[in-house]
């Protein structure tokens, strides 16, 4: 569902990252830390959809805000940075995403961030520290240089406020150590031995790990932590860039499925879908522009409700359990499996 919200404020975080503070509109609804909004942008007459994670925490009374880093040559991130000002309106979805957490009693949390990957983790960290007075959080944060650290002042403030409960370690890969020693900064890339130290120190507390950043950092973190014996169910990952889409299958027959989708642009739409490929692909091949963005089951932009028939989602990184229970499915990773399929927006 799309809604229009006003941008209350634009905060410059670094030379290429900025925060959009949004109007606290009831239409956005409530969100969990770590979730994101789809932004529907009109760029040169084309609709461009991109996802931006909340950096704010509603639990501590902050208005909704997302933080965006301009990607070199990137369409949406540069458009947002260069064209939007306080007072402008943007079209966004309701919050989506499964990279989140519910609150418990006491836990030991490790967060690993690279660049703009700090955004959902910052929201989660503020929420965990405020909501769970006995929990402890360690953040390993990788950047090229001190100038590129997003939320540097905010992280320093949180470390003081939650003294002994939050530890931040910066890793700067393209900067040399200056004459003044900085206790919490290492001037090199993060490596597997950094995880060894952490796991050795907190192994008994069975840490929970949240990772968000470039693919190389996420791969290094997951492999290192798995090698050290941390089970997969303790490690949660959010990817900002995908791996190239959901692959077609060749093992189904040549059968087709008759698909009907209700409430699309005010009326129903019908088309035949190949069972060897996701429903979204068949629709686009037939010239029907159903809503979508990532095509990699990450953003939730292609979400619809399954009314009848069978559909198998090959992957799902976007829909939380409660939406799955309500019958929502993703069309970019959903393969039709029955003769007929009835779906509905809304
Ligand atoms: C679930 C989710 C949450 C996200 N949350 C955030 C967030 O909080 N803050 C944020 O800044 N971004 C976030 N992103 C990424 C964001 O949605 C866009 O992909 C990003 O801003 C690039 O879009 P663009 O249109 O500027 O670049 P495009 O025009 O789409 O891409 C231009 C070029 O940059 C490369 N590229 C695309 N994205 C990245 C990237 N993130 N890093 C490096 N290279 C890239 C592409 O491969 C391409 O070559 C999130 C993505 C997902 C899926
Ligand atoms: S298009 Fe992003 S989840 Fe389907």
Summarize pLDDT for 251-261 with one digit per residue, the tens: 555 689 999 99
pLDDT at position 226, please?
93
Provide the CA 62 distance to its chain's centre, in angstroms: 19
334/200 Cα distance (integer angstroms): 42
Kindly list the distances between the CA atom of residue 77 and the CA atoms of 1, 7, 80, 89, 116, in Å, as whole numbers in the listed order. Answer: 22, 15, 5, 16, 12
Which phi and psi (to 5°) does residue 13 adopt? Answer: -100, -45
CB of 58 closer than 8 Å to CB of 31: yes
Q: How far is the CA of 332 from the centre of ligand 2 (A)?
A: 6
184/168 Cα distance (integer angstroms): 7
pLDDT at position 181, please?
67
Q: How far is the CA of 80 from the centre of ligand 1 (A)?
A: 12
Flag residues of the chain having pLDDT under 70. 179, 181, 242-246, 248-254
Query: Hey, is 286 helix, strand or coil?
Result: coil
pLDDT at position 92, please?
93
pLDDT at position 243, please?
58
User: Does the beta carbon of 332 sit less than 6 angstroms from any atom of ligand 2?
Assistant: yes
Looking at the DSSP bridge assignments, the partners of residue 283 are: none
Which phi and psi (to 5°) does residue 249 adopt? Answer: -110, 160
pLDDT at position 294, please?
85
pLDDT at position 210, please?
97
317 CA: nearest ligand 2 atom = 3
Reference 314, options 338, 339, 331; nearest CA is: 331
pLDDT at position 245, please?
62
User: Does the beta carbon of 241 sit less than 6 angstroms from any atom of ligand 1?
Assistant: yes
Give the closest ligand to the alpha carbon of residue 318. Answer: 2
CB of 67 closer than 8 Å to CB of 17: yes
Hey, whose CA ends up nearest to atom 3 of ligand 2? 297
Give the closest ligand to the alpha carbon of residue 279. Answer: 2
Question: In the chain, what are the domains?
Answer: 2-93 (2.40.30.10), 108-238 (3.40.50.80), 256-344 (3.10.20.30)
pLDDT at position 251, please?
59
295 CA: nearest ligand 2 atom = 1
Hey, whose CA ends up nearest to atom 13 of ligand 1? 52
Full strand arrangement of the beta sheet holding 328-330: 267-274, 256-264, 340-344, 303-308, 328-330
Q: How far is the CA of 301 from the centre of ligand 1 (A)?
A: 15
User: Does the beta carbon of 79 sit less than 6 angstroms from any atom of ligand 1?
Assistant: no
33/119 Cα distance (integer angstroms): 10
Q: How far is the CA of 262 from the centre of ligand 2 (A)?
A: 19
Around Cβ 24, how many Cβ atoms within 10 Å? Answer: 15
Q: How far is the CA of 294 from the centre of ligand 2 (A)?
A: 5
Q: How far is the CA of 215 from the centre of ligand 2 (A)?
A: 19
- The answer to whether the Cα torsion of 247, 252, 254, 255 is positive or negative is negative
DSSP-derived pairing of the beta strands 208-212 and 235-238: parallel
309/176 Cα distance (integer angstroms): 60
**Concatenated DSSP letters of 72-84:** TT-HHHHHHHHH-
Question: b/e per residue, 32-71, with b = 16+ CB within 10 A?
Answer: bbbbbbbbbbeeeeeeebbbbbbbbbbbeebebbbbbbbe
Q: How far is the CA of 335 from the centre of ligand 1 (A)?
A: 26
User: Does the beta carbon of 290 sit less than 6 angstroms from any atom of ligand 2?
Assistant: no
Q: What angle do CA 6, 10, 12 make, to 5 degrees?
A: 165
Probe residue for ligand 1, chosen from 22, 43, 51 as the CB with the greatest number of ligand atoms within 8 Å: 51
């Amino acid at each position: 569902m799309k809604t229009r919200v006003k941008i209350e404020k634009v905060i410059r975080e670094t030379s290429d990252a900025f925060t959009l503070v949004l109007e606290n509109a009831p239409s956005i609804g409530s969100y969990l830390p770590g979730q994101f909004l789809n932004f529907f942008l009109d760029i040169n007459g084309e609709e461009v959809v991109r996802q931006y994670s909340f950096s704010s925490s509603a639990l501590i009374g902050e208005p909704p805000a997302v933080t965006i880093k301009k990607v070199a040559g990137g369409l949406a991130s540069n458009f947002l940075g260069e064209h939007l000002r306080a007072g402008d309106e943007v079209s966004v979805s309701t919050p989506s995403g499964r990279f989140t957490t519910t609150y418990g009693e006491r836990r030991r949390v490790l967060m690993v961030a690279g660049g703009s990957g700090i955004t959902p983790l910052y929201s989660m960290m503020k929420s965990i520290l405020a909501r769970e007075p006995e929990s402890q959080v360690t953040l390993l944060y990788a950047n090229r240089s001190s100038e590129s650290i997003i939320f540097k002042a905010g992280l320093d403030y949180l470390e003081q406020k939650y003294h002994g409960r939050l530890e931040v370690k910066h890793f700067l890969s393209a900067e040399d150590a200056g004459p003044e020693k900085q206790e919490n900064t290492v001037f090199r890339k993060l490596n597997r031995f950094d995880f060894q130290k952490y796991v050795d120190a907190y192994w008994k507390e069975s840490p929970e790990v949240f990772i968000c950043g470039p693919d190389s950092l996420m791969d290094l973190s997951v492999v290192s932590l798995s090698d050290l014996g941390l089970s997969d169910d303790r490690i949660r990952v959010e990817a900002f860039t995908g791996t190239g889409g959901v692959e077609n299958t060749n093992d189904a027959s040549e059968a087709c499925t008759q698909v009907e989708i209700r409430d699309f642009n005010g009326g129903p739409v019908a088309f035949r879908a190949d069972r060897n490929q996701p429903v979204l692909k068949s629709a686009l091949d037939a010239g029907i522009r159903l809503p979508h963005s990532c095509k990699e089951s990450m953003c939730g932009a292609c979400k619809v409700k399954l009314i009848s028939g069978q559909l198998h989602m090959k992957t799902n990184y976007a829909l939380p359990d409660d939406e799955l229970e309500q019958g929502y499915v993703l069309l970019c990773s959903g393969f039709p499996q029955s003769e007929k399929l009835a779906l509905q927006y809304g």
